[in-house]
Amino acid sequence: MKYAIADAILGLDYDSLDSDVTEQAKRIFLYHVWTAFLGRHATDMHPAHGFSVIESLGYPSGPCTVIGEDFKLAAPEAAYLNCHLVGGGGYDDVIFPAGMHAGLMIIPVAMAIAEQEHSSGRDFIAAVVAGYEILGKIGRWTWSNESPRRPGPVFGPMATAGVCAKLLGLDRDQAAAAIGYAAHAAMGLPCNLNTHIHAMACQAGIMSAVYAKAGGQCPPDIIEGPLGFYRTFFGDSPDSEADLLGDFGSDYAIMASREKRYPGTLLNLVAVEKSRELIVGNGLTADNVASVDLELSSQRSKHPTAQLRPPYARPLEAFASCQFLVALLLIDGDINEEQRAGSKDDPEVLGVADRVQVSFVDHPNPIYAHVTVTTTDGRQFEAEGDDYIFPPIDAAKELREQANDALTAERINQFVKGVAALDTSDDVSGILGLLARDIDAQQGSRRQQTT
């Protein structure tokens, strides 16, 4: 089956993609660059840990840009650090039903290898789409397993290895070996460890592809065998290559990307937005609501933070809790991270959150929710759904606001135009290089700070 995966990855090329898919890839790329600049300013999931790791490695020099910084690194380290930046503010995207932070891993790896290899924009787009396909079609929702797993770090190395296979020009045997090495690198412990896990998956995928390019081999049944990937992690294996790949290369997984508009987990997307619909639409507040009942899919019941009650160890833990977010809607009418960043221990917020009750029902979609709001005078309002799509964000506008301490307005405009015309570029390294810091930031370079 490793060859089936390799064939699917190598067979997906730019010319096979519809324009809506290529435009989605460009939009997602721009969105995650914005989140990286947002991450540079974050105070909770600040990427300082990643910078400390790179400092301890001596800043391995290479051709790859670190977003918003004035130094370049070798590809594994650049992808590692850019992943920290992209996720540093708690904003990225997730694809369902697999439930994985796709762009957090795919975008930093594609950037690093494409810049190193001077790849074309068309190849960059195809590699990004292929990475999303691996996560969306080969990946599985794993939180509801008897022994739950974080699905991103389980399948992330396989997806990032696939991105590298395309951009490094691996042949069929090499691509299959890269997938095999990536299967060895799978992680996914369910404990709440958010600091380095996705960045580790970035490095693992790159190294898997490099091992394969250097001639590394792995067993032919590394995916489906009795000691292979699926049986080790899940106790069973797909019955056939068709069962494994599903509709890989059509109905593209990248189109199912759901982006965040507030930090926390997108498992709460439908629950929160259906609550917002009822609360805002009916003029409900903390003063006139007696209770909010959330019926959620049992597929998410083992997630450690999505329905966590206080005490919260840090602000992001609070924002990951659906009870906390619904309480903010009742008190403020919206979710404002800046306004409520210090509210994890706020008695008013926690008191309202106690009125939000969670129960679980059998439903195959992990983000399904049924919301019932009961008012103090006995009225009830109900809403239900299994998906929600936010209106498109103006990532270019947001980027201009977040990047202006590191990039000049001219350079930001050049980058935005470059992304819009990405598929006409013969060498994306020039576009990616625009993300390097080009003005003196008030606090100087990150490298100078850490050293």
Query: 322-339: per-residue pLDDT in tens?
Result: 999 999 999 999 999 888
For the stretch 251-260, pLDDT in tens is: 999 999 999 9
Token pair of 387 as six digits: 């998906």
The per-residue pLDDT for 265 is 93
Phi and psi at residue 8, to the nearest 5°: -65, -40
The per-residue pLDDT for 187 is 87
Token pair of 352 as six digits: 């309202």
Token pair of 246 as six digits: 């599903």
The per-residue pLDDT for 48 is 84
**Mean of all residue pLDDT scores within the chain:** 94
Instruction: Please state which of the ranges 6-10, 43-47, 242-246 shows the lowest mean pLDDT.
Output: 43-47
The type of residue at 328 is L
Is the confidence at residue 106, as pLDDT, over 60?
yes
For the stretch 134-161, pLDDT in tens is: 999 999 999 999 999 999 999 999 999 9
Is the confidence at residue 76, as pLDDT, over 70?
yes
Q: Is the dihedral of CA 86, 252, 161, 109 positive or negative?
A: negative
The per-residue pLDDT for 49 is 84
Mean pLDDT, rounded, for 98-102: 95
Q: How far is CA 204 from CA 9, 75, 165, in A?
A: 18, 12, 13
289 touches 375 (CB < 8 A):
yes
The per-residue pLDDT for 450 is 47
Q: CA-to-CA distance for 76 and 295, rounded, in angstroms?
A: 42
Q: Is the dihedral of CA 8, 13, 16, 20 positive or negative?
A: positive
- Residue 240 CA neighbour count, 13 Å, CB half: 3
The per-residue pLDDT for 195 is 72
The type of residue at 381 is F
The type of residue at 102 is A
The per-residue pLDDT for 263 is 87
Q: CA-to-CA distance for 318 and 333, rounded, in angstroms?
A: 17
Q: CA-to-CA distance for 168 and 212, rounded, in angstroms?
A: 11
Q: At which residue do the structure tokens 């909010």 appear?
A: 292
Q: What is the DSSP letter of 268?
A: G
Q: CA-to-CA distance for 306 and 80, rounded, in angstroms?
A: 26
With H, G, I as helix, E, B as strand and everything else as coil, classify residue 3.
helix
Q: CA-to-CA distance for 42 and 195, rounded, in angstroms?
A: 13
With H, G, I as helix, E, B as strand and everything else as coil, classify residue 86.
helix
The per-residue pLDDT for 69 is 95
Question: Which has the closest alpha carbon to 108: 32, 195, 221, 217?
Answer: 32
For the stretch 220-230, pLDDT in tens is: 999 999 999 99
Is the confidence at residue 441, as pLDDT, over 70?
no
Domains of the chain by start residue, with CATH: 2-259 (1.10.4100.10), 266-385 (3.30.1330.120)
pLDDT band at residue 200 using 50, 70 and 90 as cut-offs: very high
- Beta strand pairing status for 356-361 and 289-297? parallel
330 touches 322 (CB < 8 A):
no
21 touches 129 (CB < 8 A):
yes
Buried b (16+ CB within 10 A) or exposed e, 70-107: bbbbbbbbbbbbbbbbbbbbbbbbbbbbbbbbbbbbbb
The per-residue pLDDT for 43 is 66
Is the confidence at residue 46, as pLDDT, over 80?
no
State percent of the chain over pLDDT 70. Answer: 96
With H, G, I as helix, E, B as strand and everything else as coil, classify residue 294.
strand
Is the confidence at residue 443, as pLDDT, over 90?
no
Q: CA-to-CA distance for 37 and 71, rounded, in angstroms?
A: 16
For the stretch 156-191, pLDDT in tens is: 999 999 999 999 999 999 999 999 999 999 988 888
Is the confidence at residue 63, as pLDDT, over 80?
yes
For the stretch 116-132, pLDDT in tens is: 999 999 999 999 999 99
For the stretch 383-412, pLDDT in tens is: 999 999 999 999 999 999 999 999 999 999
Q: What angle, 0 to 180 degrees and rounded to 10, lies between the N-to-C axes of helices 395-402 and 409-420?
A: 150
Q: At which residue do the structure tokens 């490095």 appear?
A: 203
Alpha-carbon Rg for the chain, nearest whole angstrom, is: 22
Q: CA-to-CA distance for 346 and 69, rounded, in angstroms?
A: 36
Is the confidence at residue 193, as pLDDT, over 70?
no
User: Between 334 and 41, where is the model more confident?
Assistant: 334
The per-residue pLDDT for 448 is 46
Q: At which residue do the structure tokens 């809790």 appear?
A: 321
